[in-house]
Amino acid sequence: MAELPRAVRQAMPLAREVAVEVAKQYGVCIRPVPLKRLDVDTGRWEVVDVPCGATLDAKCPSCAKRNRQLRMAQCREGWHLDHEPTITPNDPNDEQRWLVEFRADLQARRDQAAALGEDTADWDAAVKGVDAEINEAGMRGNVLGRTVPKRTRSTRRRQDAPNLPKRRMSPTTLGRTFTSSDGKVYRPSLFVTLTLPSYGKVRDGVPVDPETYDYARAARDALHFAKLVDRFVQNLRRVAGYDVQYFATVEPQKRFAPHLHMAIRGTLPRAEVKQIAAATYHQVWWPPVDKVVFDGDHFPVWQDDTGYLDPATGEVLPTWDQALDQLDADEDAEPLAVLRFGDQVDVKGVLAGTPDADQCIRYLSKYLTKSLGDSLDAGDRAQREHAARMVEALHYEPCSPRCPNWLRYGVQPKDAKPGMAPGQCRSKAHKPDHLGYAGRRVLVSRKWSNKTLAEHKQDRRAWVLQALGQPNEPTDPHRYIWKPVPAGDANVSPLAVRLLRSVAERQRWRAHMAQLQAQAGGQDLPATEEAAA
Ligand SMILES: [Zn+2]
Ligand SMILES: [Zn+2]
């Protein structure tokens, strides 16, 4: 690079920015992950760029947009099914295979560290992270087929089913049909919107009086929102009397509370859905957090083989399980929180194939490319301050049994390890991007459609290949071996080069698709951009 003229050198960072802009315009991933791939048939290694959105956790706008389109296709596919889906486990695709191999590699290193008597905490965390990725990639369960033993709780603590009508279960996932007098069969479905309750008067998404706005409750509700949704589905199924399937998205309201849009297959009377929402609640049976035990410089300290103890008294803090036992034994104990939905419940009947259904699907996926904490009115100071107060409320709120914040309230977090400190939890739940809700943004029941998202992607690819007159032979899953690329690997070209290469490829696709479209008279060919994904 030394022999390049100075002017050219100075222009180089700019070239990279331009490449990123061009890539965005063409819907190309701007944060590709390079992976090394060995083709077993040819014995050749090559570096392949995998789009950042391949693991469904898109980090760039192009992948976010593409994943949104896939989600819309998935939603459309299951909403008005007229036959039972057949659920079969899928063959692992390349990406899943790579994750499994990567995990095996991590496990080996972890076991090696354990054999040497080293601390395995980091390895364990890495293995857990990859397990989560594998699940995201569409495989069910974890690689070892291990299930976490469930803690048996006293019956008193069980969440009782609320007082709701209950129909006999029939073994179907399909809703009722209605036949009109002229013999036409209708298959109505539902579109439901659920919100959380009020925490104080709000104007333009901002509390009128921040002093009285219940930030603590807003924070807690956001943290446990996913559980409340689970309860709603359980109750819905009980009342409906069939195995109700749903496709739902969690989106931010302007006041930053998560709310839920849900496409439901089949129909119930509107009043009944509202009754179910009103009766649904979730109790959080966690130790109390109303008393701060450790604050300021007074922190519990870690002692090997013992756990966290009070440095002043030497008293060992109760472990997570002990704290839960105490809670069970206490007849007067109250749940840490009881969650309920707000009064604002919207229920709408939707018929398959109507413009109405399409509009709902667009609405359902509207915010999928945004993070929960993305201010909907970014320039607004009042909203930024509101978000900051929300983050503050979340700072010491325990987000999970493993949250280091438990130490503040005198309890050892589950799986406590050295180096934990209250207020230093690294979970997404505490971050401004998430504002308490760290769960999945899209919730799809298992029997929604016949396909996983990975299979929807495969469909699209197959269609494009067919349209191009190329064979879509299933790739032999044993053909490739994937390896991560170490940082600074000389085989990886600069980002700008890689992006422009992808753009060129995308242009070739587009030209070819346009030609095919012209031949087909513009009929029945979906937008080239999403097809070329
Ligand atoms: Zn991307
Ligand atoms: Zn936490």
CA distance 520 to 170: 46
Task: Tell how far the Cα of 403 is from the centroid of ligand 2, in angstroms.
Answer: 4
> Which residues crowd ion ligand 1, with CB under 5 Å?
29, 31, 51-53, 60, 63
Structural domain ending residue among the three candidates 444, 471, 486: 444
Q: What is the pLDDT of residues 450-460, one digit of tens each?
A: 777 667 666 66
CA distance 66 to 531: 10
Ranking 120-134, 207-221, 269-283 by mean pLDDT, the lowest is 120-134
Per mean pLDDT, which of 19-23, 103-107, 289-293 is the most reliable?
289-293
Q: Quick check: is 405 in a domain?
A: yes
pLDDT of 372 reads 58
Residues 278-307 have a mean pLDDT of 93
CB 533 within 8 A of CB 460: yes
Q: Quick check: is 87 in a domain?
A: no
Task: Tell how far the Cα of 33 is from the centroid of ligand 1, in angstroms.
Answer: 8
Q: What is the DSSP string of 148-160?
A: PPPPP--GGGS-P
CB 395 within 8 A of CB 430: yes
Domain extent at residue 22: 6-81+451-520
Q: In this structure, are 394 and 352 located in the same domain?
A: yes
Q: In this structure, are 232 and 116 located in the same domain?
A: no
Q: Is 70 exceeded by the pLDDT of residue 287? A: yes
pLDDT of 66 reads 82
pLDDT of 531 reads 38
In terms of Cα–Cα distance, which of 32, 36, 46, 37 is closest to 478? 37
Query: Confidence band (pLDDT; 50, 70, 90) for 528?
Result: very low
Task: Tell how far the Cα of 369 is from the centroid of ligand 1, in angstroms.
Answer: 12
Residues 96-101 have a mean pLDDT of 62
pTM of structure:
0.77
Task: Tell how far the Cα of 181 is from the centroid of ligand 1, in angstroms.
Answer: 52
Q: Quick check: is 500 in a domain?
A: yes
Q: In this structure, are 406 and 505 located in the same domain?
A: no
Q: Which ligand is nearest to the CA of 31?
A: 1
CA distance 531 to 520: 16
Q: Is 60 exceeded by the pLDDT of residue 184? A: yes
Q: In this structure, are 182 and 104 located in the same domain?
A: no
Task: Tell how far the Cα of 61 is from the centroid of ligand 1, in angstroms.
Answer: 7
Ranking 8-22, 286-300, 368-382 by mean pLDDT, the lowest is 368-382
CA distance 183 to 177: 12
Task: Tell how far the Cα of 431 is from the centroid of ligand 1, in angstroms.
Answer: 22
Q: Which ligand is nearest to the CA of 27?
A: 1
Q: In this structure, are 372 and 481 located in the same domain?
A: no
Task: Tell how far the Cα of 196 is from the centroid of ligand 2, in angstroms.
Answer: 21
Between CA 519 and CA 528, with CA 522 as vertex, the angle to 5 degrees is 95
Task: Tell how far the Cα of 358 is from the centroid of ligand 1, in angstroms.
Answer: 26
Q: What is the pLDDT of residues 309-324, one digit of tens each?
A: 999 999 999 999 999 9
Task: Tell how far the Cα of 425 is from the centroid of ligand 2, in angstroms.
Answer: 4
Q: Quick check: is 308 in a domain?
A: yes
Query: Confidence band (pLDDT; 50, 70, 90) for 296?
Result: confident
Q: What does the mean pLDDT of the chain come to? A: 81
Structural domain ending residue among the three candidates 388, 411, 444: 444
Q: In this structure, are 336 and 403 located in the same domain?
A: yes
Ranking 279-288, 349-358, 516-525 by mean pLDDT, the lowest is 516-525
Q: In this structure, are 422 and 509 located in the same domain?
A: no
Q: What is the pLDDT of residues 243-264, one digit of tens each?
A: 999 999 998 888 989 999 999 9
pLDDT of 147 reads 43
pLDDT of 532 reads 36
pLDDT of 533 reads 36
pLDDT of 378 reads 59
CA distance 302 to 499: 48
Q: What is the pLDDT of residues 204-234, one digit of tens each?
A: 889 999 999 999 999 999 999 999 999 999 9
Q: Which ligand is nearest to the CA of 404?
A: 2
Q: Which ligand is nearest to the CA of 67?
A: 1
Task: Tell how far the Cα of 64 is from the centroid of ligand 1, in angstroms.
Answer: 7
Q: Quick check: is 1 in a domain?
A: no
Distant-in-sequence, close-in-space partners of 131: CB < 8 Å, separation ≥ 6: 103, 142, 143
Task: Tell how far the Cα of 370 is from the centroid of ligand 1, in angstroms.
Answer: 14
Q: In this structure, are 309 and 412 located in the same domain?
A: yes
Between 376 and 249, the more confident residue is: 249
pLDDT of 421 reads 94
Q: Which ligand is nearest to the CA of 421?
A: 2
Q: Is 80 exceeded by the pLDDT of residue 132? A: no
How many percent of the chain have pLDDT more than 90?
A: 39
CA distances from residue 379 to 61, 155, 322 in whole angstroms, order as listed: 20, 51, 47
Query: Confidence band (pLDDT; 50, 70, 90) for 418?
Result: very high
Q: Which ligand is nearest to the CA of 420?
A: 2
Task: Tell how far the Cα of 60 is from the centroid of ligand 1, in angstroms.
Answer: 4
Task: Tell how far the Cα of 490 is from the centroid of ligand 1, in angstroms.
Answer: 22
Q: Which ligand is nearest to the CA of 408?
A: 2
Residues 268-292 have a mean pLDDT of 94
Ranking 25-29, 116-120, 286-290, 488-492 by mean pLDDT, the lowest is 116-120
Our count of domains for the chain comes to 3
Ranking 42-56, 350-364, 384-398, 464-478 by mean pLDDT, the lowest is 464-478
CA distance 520 to 280: 52
pLDDT of 487 reads 73
Q: In this structure, are 219 and 312 located in the same domain?
A: yes
Q: What is the pLDDT of residues 49-59, one digit of tens each?
A: 878 776 546 67
Q: Quick check: is 390 in a domain?
A: yes
Q: Which ligand is nearest to the CA of 407?
A: 2
Q: In this structure, are 398 and 485 located in the same domain?
A: no
Task: Tell how far the Cα of 97 is from the centroid of ligand 1, in angstroms.
Answer: 20
Q: Which ligand is nearest to the CA of 396?
A: 2
Q: Is 70 exceeded by the pLDDT of residue 191? A: yes
Q: Is 60 exceeded by the pLDDT of residue 391? A: yes
Q: In this structure, are 101 and 200 located in the same domain?
A: no
CB 248 within 8 A of CB 229: yes
Q: Quick check: is 533 in a domain?
A: no
pLDDT of 17 reads 84
Angle between helices 453-467 and 61-79 (to 10 degrees): 100
Structural domain ending residue among the three candidates 385, 416, 444: 444
Q: What is the pLDDT of residues 158-177, one digit of tens each?
A: 566 677 888 888 889 998 88
Task: Tell how far the Cα of 475 is from the centroid of ligand 2, in angstroms.
Answer: 42
Task: Tell how far the Cα of 31 is from the centroid of ligand 1, in angstroms.
Answer: 5
Q: Is 80 exceeded by the pLDDT of residue 438? A: yes
pLDDT of 136 reads 58
Query: Confidence band (pLDDT; 50, 70, 90) for 268?
Result: very high
Task: Tell how far the Cα of 300 is from the centroid of ligand 2, in angstroms.
Answer: 17
Q: Which ligand is nearest to the CA of 50?
A: 1
Q: Quick check: is 287 in a domain?
A: yes
pLDDT of 101 reads 63
Task: Tell how far the Cα of 289 is from the centroid of ligand 2, in angstroms.
Answer: 13
Q: In this structure, are 303 and 427 located in the same domain?
A: yes
Q: Which ligand is nearest to the CA of 51?
A: 1
